[in-house]
Structure 1
């Protein structure tokens, strides 16, 4: 069963169905490997099948849909090689963006970051708030890219990080996200103080190091093993 959020002002059927279906996939409400159909999705959203069909084609490009000819359409299982590619991209780009931020970063964007982390800290140790944290986490990094006038770079990262972000959310449900909040606070300090020499280590700890915990999620005896297709393996970049 999907979570059906209210339609936003100005959303047409295609935009609305894309946002709601994608949110349900990224929140794991529509679980990896789950069978889906145009008819069921259109009925749930109370719209025609045409925009849903177009949305599924778009989500397939984002690696969130697998179509098996003459068998069915599925929410894609989380794939190891796509996690690795996204982690490599995030590490490489985030390091450079933070280095730029240490040289110059708007005061208003820095204030946004501090407000965002303040909200994150309110969620620490709260039960079942992982999705709320995950959304704030996404906004935190988006603010950094926007402060560097790299909004389209962030959008590209978001489109290519669907598998990486789903396993991150799953991990945050199993472990505390307190360490990630602390790392966000440290990143703000590095930007404020222009400490470029510490950027690479900070980004490595934030983006790559958590992957060491993920094996327990996809190994054969995990209760989440059926969410994964790790035929290509997962490793720390």
Structure 2
């Protein structure tokens, strides 16, 4: 388990920082489905008490990434088709609406932000920096929610898309998949620049449908 105590800021809430470390290990596949989560070992590795670790694991379990079984233990949850599809349904509804609303408020400054994001994203994919590419993908989607003036939409998406994040880690190294994402981001951006609300929403729906389909295809052997 690759936990880094040097990144913890003791002046800030530890549970939040530990949450992000453990969640990331699950999402990127360093902690595998079915793997035991030993809260005592995590606390020792990070040099903290067990309390913030327990709080962090509880929060991760609320997102469906961890199964806490009474009298048995705590385990990384399996990736399931049902969870992926549910995450997609929630994300599609929220992001189509945020994209539709962003179209009316889209400015040249917003266009520059997304253009710069896409350039950095494309470079990350070309260099095989897939973790960075996934982070930049999230920034693209979060920025659209911020442009529409409803940042809480992204917070809701970020919680619900945990299972899809696990799938993205499997998909993005596959040849052509990262480039496909850039192409679809371009279609979304082009519609936003035209202030075409329906076109932007449709482009977002197509993008998310493609992400789900690719994830189901690549992760088929892991799905229950």
User: TM (normalized to structure 2)?
Assistant: 0.90
Q: Which residue is equivalent to 2:142?
A: 142
Q: Paired residues, what number? A: 222
Moved more, 103-112 or 142-151: 103-112
User: 1:64·1:75 contact (CA, 8 Å) conserved in 2?
Assistant: yes
User: 1:3·1:29 contact (CA, 8 Å) conserved in 2?
Assistant: no
Structure 2 residue runs of 5 or longer lacking an equivalent are none
Q: Which residue is equivalent to 1:118?
A: 119
CA pair 162-72 structure 1, distance change in 2 beyond 3 A: same
Q: Which residue is equivalent to 2:65?
A: 64
Cα distance in 2 between the residues matched to 1:18 and 1:211? 25
Structure 1 residue runs of 5 or longer lacking an equivalent are 231-237
Residue 42 of structure 2 is aligned to residue 41 of structure 1: yes
Deviation at 1:189, TM superposition (A): 1.3
User: 1:64·1:76 contact (CA, 8 Å) conserved in 2?
Assistant: yes
Q: Which residue is equivalent to 1:153?
A: 153
Cα distance in 1 between the residues matched to 2:27 and 2:11? 23
User: 2:170·2:219 contact (CA, 8 Å) conserved in 1?
Assistant: no
Q: CA RMSD of the aligned region, Å?
A: 2.0
Deviation at 1:55, TM superposition (A): 1.1
Q: Going by fraction, where is helix more abundant, 1 or 2?
A: 2
User: 2:34·2:75 contact (CA, 8 Å) conserved in 1?
Assistant: yes
| Structure 1 segment 52-131 matched on structure 2, within 5 A | 52-127=53-128, 129-131=129-131
Kindly provide the CA deviation profile for residues 182-235 of structure 1, in whole angstroms up to 9, marking residues without a partner as x: 11122111111123342343123210123333344343xx4xx2xx4x2xxxxx
Q: Secondary structure at the match of 2:31?
A: coil
User: 2:99·2:201 contact (CA, 8 Å) conserved in 1?
Assistant: no
